[in-house]
Amino acid sequence: MGYAGKKDELKEKDPLYALRHSAAHITAQAIRRLYPQVRLGIGPPIEDGFYYDIDLDQKLTDEDLPSIEKEIKKIVKENHKFEQSFMPKAEAREFFEKRGEQFKLEIIDGIEDDEVSIFTDGDFVDLCEGPHVESTRKAPAIKLLSVAGAYWRGDEKNAQLQRIYGTAFPSKQELHDHLHRLEEAKRRDHRKIGKELGLFSFEDVAGPGVVFFHPKGAFIRSLIEDDIKRRHLENGYQFVQTPHLFKTDLWEMSGHLEHYKENMFLFEDDDQAYGLKPMNCPGHILIYKSRLRSYRELPMRLFELGTVYRNEKSGVLHGLLRVRGFTQDDGHLFLREDQLVEEVGKAVDFAFDILKVYGFSDFEIELSTRPDDSIGSDEIWEKAESSLRQALEDRNLNFQIHEGDGAFYGPKIDLKIRDAIGRSWQCGTIQCDFALPERFDLKYQGEDGNLHRPIMVHRALLGSVERFFGVLLEHYAGALPVWLAPVQTVVIPIGDKAMDYAQEVTEQLNQQGVRVELDVRSDRMQAKIRDAQLQKVPYMIIVGEKEAEAKTVSVRHRRDGDLGSIALTEFVTKVAQENTDRVLDLQQ
């Protein structure tokens, strides 16, 4: 249904757009046959599928989808042609009013043209711009996935409808492969893994979108943050720390109050307005501005693991991937103009180096240009965009241009990674900014003794620590590499007679820096092994009287199974080497 709103970018870049648009129509057609009293909303294609919103007195569940799919197959087999026609607005309004289609009437009223586009296939007529495939038979592989609630046009003030999600592919084999990927994604869902492994939780009493990291989760997070800090020091960054809230005067100076207010948490105290910081950049700017800088101090690279707060709508919150309070690995570079291309290039290289350590090697790069809602002159935007482009071209990197998707203060480079099952995730971003240094009147004293304006680069290489944590869990299906595992090995004694040796082994491993737990429960050995594997522990050490006498350990790997009996010192060396080498383990 093509009258859903602003220009649909998916229509331009998705080769399956017409197919999935047609699948949405066929789905609505099947629902109308089964439930003649239904009132139809919209049914656009989306990434990897489509949906159709309906208003129906009967509440549908996932158990109702097979009967709708059965009707879909009939419609596909009937091979109705998709035929477009045009109707004057008044006539179209009368047509849909007779059918009780109140949502179609609202859409018609919002169309500026004198005529509206109608598509017909068999007994089904819908208000639509297209495009569609030639006939219903050209959509042979349609699968309905779920039923959810949705507000009409995404506005919680409007009526709540039922949304039928589905997907479609040119062949049944492609559909089968996609459904397999969906099942794999479900198995890897970080929310499920986080709960099973006791890593983090969300507590209703604390409010939506705020994360509680439990001991193991907090430990993993600290490993990531410590690694990131070390790498930034090695790359010439200086650590800073800034407050969590500022007076709104500062947000007005930065432009956030004008351009980002709806995403901010604002409050008043003693007649003074404050805002929790949605970004760290103004704080870093004030540190730079605390005294006059010399050209010899540039580039000045500031870094903060800075926690920010954004008032995301509750409907878009999603585990660790979309939260209201999160920590960015946030850096800001203050540069001379002649340093810009080089420093942007170094930031790109730095991002690649970090992401590869965590097991990501397949990247997508996007260069986003000036949006309609922006600050700064045409001249500085042109300089900024050309500099980012040159940094990428100097490295022979392939990238896509995304017109109008830049930040309000400058163009940006976005780095996306592909995970173990081929999904794309937004991580790093590098943003060039000529505007904020001007708004804050930033200066440095040049070699000529005169004052000059620095250029500012915003960059976050992981993006959000919380989001990156979630992506990591899904990438590895919870089985994190040894160096990131909160518990690297579990010692499992066989019987009470082996307990003393098991405690000795545990103490030696602990002294050598191996993260170890001793399982002293009275359960059977196989049950303990199963539990350790469910907890994704990389290694299990089984010790009995035989191992105690020989001073060895029997080692079992979570994926490879029994590794045999080896000397304890040899095992410690193995784990230590995996820690040092950051060995990856993607076969999960």
CATH code assigned at 217 = 3.30.930.10
Q: Please indicate, yes or no, whether residues 132 and 50 belong to a single structural domain of this protein.
A: yes
Q: Please indicate, yes or no, whether residues 288 and 308 belong to a single structural domain of this protein.
A: yes
363-368, strands of its sheet edge to edge: 238-239, 300-309, 325-335, 455-464, 424-433, 412-418, 363-368, 400-402
Q: What is the pLDDT of residue 440?
A: 96
**Active-site choice (188, 277, 458, 558):** 458
- Tokens of residue 557, six digits: 């790997």
- Mean pLDDT of the region 551-563: 94
- Of 475, 493, 527, which residue constitutes the final position of a domain? 475
- Of 456, 475, 494, which residue constitutes the final position of a domain? 475
What is the rounded distance in angstroms from the CA atom of residue 202 to the CA atom of residue 50? Answer: 30
254 domain residue, yes or no:
no
For the stretch 405-439, pLDDT in tens is 988 788 999 999 999 999 999 999 999 988 899 99
Q: Domain range spanning residue 165?
A: 9-183
258 domain residue, yes or no:
no
Q: What is the pLDDT of residue 571?
A: 92
* Cβ-based burial of 291 (10 A; exposed 0-12, middle 13-18, buried ≥19): exposed
Q: Please indicate, yes or no, whether residues 83 and 118 belong to a single structural domain of this protein.
A: yes
Q: Is 585 a catalytic residue?
A: no
Q: Is 89 a catalytic residue?
A: no
Q: Please indicate, yes or no, whether residues 331 and 458 belong to a single structural domain of this protein.
A: yes
Q: What is the pLDDT of residue 49?
A: 95
Q: Please indicate, yes or no, whether residues 378 and 337 belong to a single structural domain of this protein.
A: yes
Q: Please indicate, yes or no, whether residues 432 and 524 belong to a single structural domain of this protein.
A: no
Residue with tokens 């507000």: 151
- Of 475, 508, 524, which residue constitutes the final position of a domain? 475
Q: Please indicate, yes or no, whether residues 405 and 526 belong to a single structural domain of this protein.
A: no
27 domain residue, yes or no:
yes
The yes-or-no verdict on residue 29 having pLDDT over 80 is yes
Residue with tokens 């250029």: 455
Q: Please indicate, yes or no, whether residues 339 and 486 belong to a single structural domain of this protein.
A: no
Q: Please indicate, yes or no, whether residues 127 and 45 belong to a single structural domain of this protein.
A: yes
342 domain residue, yes or no:
yes
**Active-site choice (281, 284, 467, 585):** 281
The yes-or-no verdict on residue 5 having pLDDT over 70 is no
Q: What is the pLDDT of residue 378?
A: 87
Looking at the chain, the whole-number percentage of residues with pLDDT higher than 90 is: 84
Q: Please indicate, yes or no, whether residues 26 and 137 belong to a single structural domain of this protein.
A: yes
**CATH assignment of the domain containing 487:** 3.40.50.800
Q: Please indicate, yes or no, whether residues 466 and 571 belong to a single structural domain of this protein.
A: no
The larger pLDDT score, comparing residue 72 to residue 315, is at 72
The yes-or-no verdict on residue 261 having pLDDT over 50 is yes
417 domain residue, yes or no:
yes
Q: Please indicate, yes or no, whether residues 471 and 487 belong to a single structural domain of this protein.
A: no
The yes-or-no verdict on residue 20 having pLDDT over 90 is yes
The yes-or-no verdict on residue 585 having pLDDT over 80 is no
- Mean pLDDT of the region 52-61: 95
What is the rounded distance in angstroms from the CA atom of residue 413 to the CA atom of residue 402? Answer: 10
261 domain residue, yes or no:
no
- Mean pLDDT of the region 220-245: 97
Q: Is 176 a catalytic residue?
A: no
**Active-site choice (29, 162, 328, 488):** 328
Q: Is 281 a catalytic residue?
A: yes
**Active-site choice (412, 459, 467, 558):** 412
Residue with tokens 């039922």: 162
**Active-site choice (20, 80, 277, 310):** 310
Q: What is the pLDDT of residue 588?
A: 54
- Identify the band that residue 579 occupies on the pLDDT scale cut at 50, 70 and 90: confident
The yes-or-no verdict on residue 238 having pLDDT over 60 is yes
Q: Is 332 a catalytic residue?
A: yes
Asked if 131 and 118 touch (Cβ cutoff 8 Å), the reply is no
Asked if 188 and 477 touch (Cβ cutoff 8 Å), the reply is yes
Q: What is the pLDDT of residue 505?
A: 95
**Active-site choice (284, 301, 332, 528):** 332
pTM (predicted TM-score): 0.84
- Mean pLDDT of the region 134-147: 96
Say how many domains are in the chain.
3
**Active-site choice (55, 126, 330, 585):** 330
- Mean pLDDT of the region 369-390: 88
The yes-or-no verdict on residue 4 having pLDDT over 50 is no
- Identify the band that residue 9 occupies on the pLDDT scale cut at 50, 70 and 90: low
